[in-house]
């Protein structure tokens, strides 16, 4: 993206979903949240960070997290998604962009997430070397409908704006 015709701003969106499993720790937005079950995945299954990374990559048409960090690669087994987010940020900076802002939503019936949101924002801002005011995280339920409503899993969606450095 060194080319001088590169766009000043680029937008991306991300979606991710993970299934709950008893006996796993719940990692969300880079922090551990005490709960009776966690999310299942090859990595720590941090559904929010995954949606944010997919949005960052999507903004620069750089495919998705599965392409950059394949779950068939043993080096990503149980990997901390914060490490992957840092890598993703490095990638977009190498392409000449930096974070404008993130707006993300977590959809889950339980646990109550609102009390944890400020800590998630602090954590994500630190990883991305950004100001907390650039990061919005919201939480909602699915009104007890579907796989989220049945507490089979959790989903997250994110929009990201990148700005040319
Ligand atoms: Zn994921």
Which percentage of the chain shows pLDDT scores above 90? 90
Q: From its phi and psi, is residue 157 left (phi > 0), alpha (psi between -120 and 50) or beta?
A: beta
Euclidean distance between CA atoms 20 and 25, whole angstroms: 10
How close is the Cα of 74 to the center of ligand 1, in Å?
A: 16
Give the chain's residues under pLDDT 50.
Answer: 1
Ligand 1 center to 56 CA (angstroms): 14
Residue 165 vs residues 8, 93, 110: alpha-carbon distances, Å:
8, 8, 39
Residue 69 and residue 84: Cα distance in Å, rounded?
8
Centroid of ligand 1 to alpha carbon of 2 (angstroms): 30
Predicted pLDDT at 77: 86
CA of 17 from ligand 1 middle (Å) equals: 6
User: Is 137 buried (19+), middle (13-18) or exposed (0-12) by CB count in 10 A?
Assistant: buried
| pLDDT recorded at residue 64 | 96
C-alpha span between 126 and 86 (Å, rounded): 10
Cα 129 to ligand 1 centroid, rounded to whole Å: 22
Centroid of ligand 1 to alpha carbon of 16 (angstroms): 5
Q: What is the pLDDT of residue 6?
A: 82
Ligand 1 center to 41 CA (angstroms): 7
pLDDT at 4: 66
């Amino acid at each position: 993206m060194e080319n001088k015709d590169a766009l000043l701003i680029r937008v991306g969106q991300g979606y991710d979903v993970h299934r709950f499993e008893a006996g796993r720790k719940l990692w969300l937005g880079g922090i551990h949240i005490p709960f009776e079950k966690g999310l299942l995945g090859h990595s720590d299954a941090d559904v929010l960070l995954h949606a944010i990374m997919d949005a960052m990559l999507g903004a620069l048409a750089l495919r998705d997290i599965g392409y950059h960090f394949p779950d068939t690669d043993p080096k990503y087994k149980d990997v901390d998604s914060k490490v992957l987010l840092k890598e993703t940020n490095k990638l977009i900076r190498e392409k000449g962009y930096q974070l404008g802002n993130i707006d993300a939503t977590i959809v889950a019936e339980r646990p109550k997430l609102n009390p944890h949101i400020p800590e998630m924002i602090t954590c994500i801002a630190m990883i991305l070397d950004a100001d907390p005011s650039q990061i919005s995280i919201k939480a909602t339920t699915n009104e007890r409908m579907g796989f989220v409503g049945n507490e089979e899993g959790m989903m997250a969606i994110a929009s990201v704006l990148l700005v040319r450095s």
